[in-house]
Amino acid sequence: MLYIAIGSLNPVKIEAGRHGAEAALQTPGGVDAVGIEVESGVAEQPVGDIETRRGAVNRAILSWQGYIERYGSEPSYSIGIEGGVSGLKRGEAMTCFAYIVVYNGARIGTAKTVTFDLPEVVSELVRSGMELGHAVDSIVGRTNTKHEEGAVGWLTEGVSTRTGYYACAVILAFPPVRYPDLYPSRGYLLENKDKETKN
Protein backbone atom coordinates (compact mmCIF):
# COMPACT_ATOMS: atom_id res chain seq x y z
CA MET A 1 0.00 0.00 0.00
CA LEU A 2 1.25 3.44 -0.95
CA TYR A 3 0.14 6.51 0.96
CA ILE A 4 -0.45 9.69 -1.01
CA ALA A 5 -1.16 13.13 0.42
CA ILE A 6 -3.28 15.37 -1.83
CA GLY A 7 -3.08 19.10 -1.20
CA SER A 8 -6.84 19.69 -1.26
CA LEU A 9 -10.12 18.54 0.24
CA ASN A 10 -11.77 18.70 -3.18
CA PRO A 11 -13.02 15.13 -3.82
CA VAL A 12 -12.29 15.43 -7.54
CA LYS A 13 -8.63 16.23 -6.89
CA ILE A 14 -8.33 13.43 -4.32
CA GLU A 15 -9.77 10.89 -6.74
CA ALA A 16 -7.63 12.19 -9.61
CA GLY A 17 -4.52 11.86 -7.46
CA ARG A 18 -5.45 8.34 -6.43
CA HIS A 19 -6.34 7.17 -9.95
CA GLY A 20 -3.27 8.80 -11.47
CA ALA A 21 -0.92 7.33 -8.85
CA GLU A 22 -2.43 3.86 -9.21
CA ALA A 23 -1.98 3.97 -12.97
CA ALA A 24 1.53 5.42 -12.84
CA LEU A 25 2.90 3.15 -10.12
CA GLN A 26 0.87 -0.01 -10.81
CA THR A 27 0.91 -0.82 -7.11
CA PRO A 28 -0.45 -4.29 -6.25
CA GLY A 29 -1.48 -3.15 -2.76
CA GLY A 30 -3.31 -0.10 -4.01
CA VAL A 31 -3.11 3.57 -3.10
CA ASP A 32 -4.54 5.30 -0.06
CA ALA A 33 -5.06 8.97 -0.99
CA VAL A 34 -5.74 11.44 1.80
CA GLY A 35 -6.80 15.04 1.27
CA ILE A 36 -4.93 17.61 3.35
CA GLU A 37 -6.30 21.15 3.54
CA VAL A 38 -3.52 23.59 2.62
CA GLU A 39 -3.16 27.11 1.26
CA SER A 40 -1.97 27.43 -2.33
CA GLY A 41 -0.07 30.65 -1.64
CA VAL A 42 -1.36 32.14 -4.90
CA ALA A 43 -4.50 33.98 -5.97
CA GLU A 44 -7.86 32.19 -5.76
CA GLN A 45 -7.79 32.22 -9.55
CA PRO A 46 -4.17 31.83 -10.69
CA VAL A 47 -3.25 33.38 -14.02
CA GLY A 48 -0.47 32.10 -16.26
CA ASP A 49 1.94 29.22 -16.02
CA ILE A 50 4.26 30.52 -13.31
CA GLU A 51 1.58 31.38 -10.76
CA THR A 52 -0.41 28.22 -11.43
CA ARG A 53 2.65 25.98 -11.17
CA ARG A 54 3.73 27.73 -7.98
CA GLY A 55 0.34 26.97 -6.44
CA ALA A 56 0.70 23.30 -7.31
CA VAL A 57 4.23 23.17 -5.85
CA ASN A 58 3.02 24.83 -2.64
CA ARG A 59 0.13 22.39 -2.33
CA ALA A 60 2.42 19.39 -2.83
CA ILE A 61 4.99 20.51 -0.25
CA LEU A 62 2.48 21.67 2.35
CA SER A 63 0.40 18.50 2.07
CA TRP A 64 3.58 16.44 2.59
CA GLN A 65 4.22 18.39 5.78
CA GLY A 66 0.57 18.24 6.81
CA TYR A 67 0.50 14.47 6.39
CA ILE A 68 3.51 14.10 8.69
CA GLU A 69 1.88 16.35 11.30
CA ARG A 70 -1.36 14.35 11.15
CA TYR A 71 0.01 10.80 11.03
CA GLY A 72 3.54 11.06 12.39
CA SER A 73 5.08 9.46 9.30
CA GLU A 74 5.96 10.47 5.76
CA PRO A 75 3.64 9.69 2.87
CA SER A 76 4.98 7.81 -0.13
CA TYR A 77 4.31 10.89 -2.28
CA SER A 78 2.32 14.08 -2.12
CA ILE A 79 0.46 15.70 -5.00
CA GLY A 80 -0.51 19.31 -5.66
CA ILE A 81 -3.12 20.19 -8.27
CA GLU A 82 -3.77 23.80 -9.26
CA GLY A 83 -6.05 25.07 -12.00
CA GLY A 84 -5.25 28.23 -13.91
CA VAL A 85 -6.22 30.38 -16.86
CA SER A 86 -4.47 32.54 -19.41
CA GLY A 87 -5.75 35.23 -21.73
CA LEU A 88 -7.06 37.99 -19.49
CA LYS A 89 -7.03 40.67 -22.19
CA ARG A 90 -10.30 41.25 -23.98
CA GLY A 91 -10.09 39.93 -27.51
CA GLU A 92 -7.83 37.05 -26.47
CA ALA A 93 -9.12 33.52 -26.14
CA MET A 94 -9.10 32.56 -22.47
CA THR A 95 -7.69 29.07 -21.98
CA CYS A 96 -8.06 26.75 -19.02
CA PHE A 97 -5.44 24.27 -17.72
CA ALA A 98 -3.98 22.82 -14.54
CA TYR A 99 -0.54 22.02 -13.21
CA ILE A 100 0.20 18.83 -11.30
CA VAL A 101 3.21 18.45 -9.00
CA VAL A 102 4.35 15.16 -7.44
CA TYR A 103 6.75 15.41 -4.46
CA ASN A 104 8.71 12.70 -2.66
CA GLY A 105 10.33 14.80 0.05
CA ALA A 106 13.36 15.71 -2.06
CA ARG A 107 12.38 16.11 -5.71
CA ILE A 108 9.38 17.26 -7.65
CA GLY A 109 7.93 16.19 -10.97
CA THR A 110 5.65 18.52 -12.91
CA ALA A 111 3.11 18.09 -15.67
CA LYS A 112 0.52 20.31 -17.28
CA THR A 113 -2.87 19.22 -18.51
CA VAL A 114 -4.06 19.87 -22.03
CA THR A 115 -5.55 23.32 -22.48
CA PHE A 116 -8.95 24.28 -23.83
CA ASP A 117 -10.70 27.54 -24.65
CA LEU A 118 -13.42 28.86 -22.38
CA PRO A 119 -16.66 30.38 -23.71
CA GLU A 120 -16.62 34.15 -23.83
CA VAL A 121 -19.50 34.39 -21.35
CA VAL A 122 -17.34 32.55 -18.79
CA SER A 123 -14.18 34.44 -19.76
CA GLU A 124 -15.84 37.79 -19.09
CA LEU A 125 -16.85 36.73 -15.60
CA VAL A 126 -13.30 35.59 -14.85
CA ARG A 127 -11.91 38.85 -16.24
CA SER A 128 -14.21 40.72 -13.87
CA GLY A 129 -12.54 38.96 -10.93
CA MET A 130 -14.63 35.82 -10.48
CA GLU A 131 -12.94 32.47 -9.87
CA LEU A 132 -13.52 30.04 -12.74
CA GLY A 133 -15.53 27.54 -10.69
CA HIS A 134 -17.89 30.28 -9.49
CA ALA A 135 -18.22 31.57 -13.05
CA VAL A 136 -19.27 28.14 -14.28
CA ASP A 137 -21.71 27.84 -11.36
CA SER A 138 -23.37 31.10 -12.33
CA ILE A 139 -23.81 29.99 -15.95
CA VAL A 140 -25.13 26.48 -15.29
CA GLY A 141 -27.24 27.54 -12.32
CA ARG A 142 -25.67 25.20 -9.78
CA THR A 143 -23.21 25.41 -6.91
CA ASN A 144 -19.76 23.90 -6.41
CA THR A 145 -19.43 22.35 -9.86
CA LYS A 146 -15.65 22.34 -9.35
CA HIS A 147 -16.21 19.52 -6.85
CA GLU A 148 -18.02 17.62 -9.60
CA GLU A 149 -17.61 17.86 -13.39
CA GLY A 150 -16.15 21.39 -13.55
CA ALA A 151 -15.79 23.37 -16.76
CA VAL A 152 -14.31 20.43 -18.70
CA GLY A 153 -17.19 18.12 -17.85
CA TRP A 154 -19.80 20.79 -18.54
CA LEU A 155 -18.37 21.75 -21.94
CA THR A 156 -17.87 18.14 -23.10
CA GLU A 157 -21.21 16.99 -21.67
CA GLY A 158 -19.40 14.51 -19.46
CA VAL A 159 -17.30 12.92 -22.18
CA SER A 160 -14.18 14.23 -20.45
CA THR A 161 -14.46 14.10 -16.67
CA ARG A 162 -12.57 16.47 -14.42
CA THR A 163 -11.10 13.49 -12.56
CA GLY A 164 -9.80 11.94 -15.77
CA TYR A 165 -8.58 15.31 -17.04
CA TYR A 166 -6.33 15.69 -13.98
CA ALA A 167 -5.37 12.02 -13.66
CA CYS A 168 -3.61 11.92 -17.05
CA ALA A 169 -1.30 14.74 -15.95
CA VAL A 170 -0.76 13.09 -12.56
CA ILE A 171 0.65 10.07 -14.41
CA LEU A 172 3.01 12.29 -16.41
CA ALA A 173 4.27 14.11 -13.30
CA PHE A 174 5.71 10.93 -11.77
CA PRO A 175 8.70 10.09 -14.05
CA PRO A 176 11.04 12.92 -12.91
CA VAL A 177 10.58 11.76 -9.31
CA ARG A 178 10.77 8.02 -9.99
CA TYR A 179 13.65 8.10 -12.48
CA PRO A 180 16.03 10.87 -11.39
CA ASP A 181 18.84 9.54 -13.58
CA LEU A 182 16.77 10.23 -16.68
CA TYR A 183 16.17 13.87 -15.76
CA PRO A 184 18.74 16.59 -15.04
CA SER A 185 18.22 18.26 -11.69
CA ARG A 186 17.63 21.68 -13.24
CA GLY A 187 13.92 22.38 -13.37
CA TYR A 188 13.01 19.71 -10.82
CA LEU A 189 14.83 20.76 -7.67
CA LEU A 190 12.73 23.00 -5.46
CA GLU A 191 15.07 25.97 -5.61
CA ASN A 192 14.53 26.11 -9.39
CA LYS A 193 10.73 25.93 -9.30
CA ASP A 194 10.09 29.50 -10.45
CA LYS A 195 12.71 29.93 -13.17
CA GLU A 196 10.41 29.17 -16.10
CA THR A 197 9.61 31.85 -18.60
CA LYS A 198 6.03 33.02 -18.29
CA ASN A 199 3.97 32.40 -21.43
128 within domain boundaries: no
pLDDT value of position 56: 97
Amino acid at 110: T
pLDDT value of position 110: 95
Q: Terminal CA-to-CA distance of the chain, rounded, Å?
A: 39
**Cα dihedral 43→45→51→52 (10° resolution):** 130
Residue 48's CATH number: 3.90.950.10
175 within domain boundaries: yes
132 within domain boundaries: no
pLDDT value of position 34: 98
Number of domains in the chain: 1
Q: Report d(CA 90, CA 69) in Å as an integer.
A: 45
pLDDT value of position 199: 37
pLDDT value of position 95: 95
pLDDT of the chain along its 199 residues, tens only? 899 999 999 999 999 999 999 999 998 678 999 999 999 999 999 999 999 999 999 999 999 999 999 999 999 999 999 999 999 888 889 999 999 999 999 899 999 999 999 999 999 999 999 888 898 888 888 887 778 787 888 888 888 888 999 999 999 999 999 998 888 764 455 544 444 433 3
**Boundaries of domain holding 88:** 2-117+160-191
Among residues 84, 75, 34, which one has the least CA distance to residue 56?
Answer: 84
Its pTM stands at 0.88
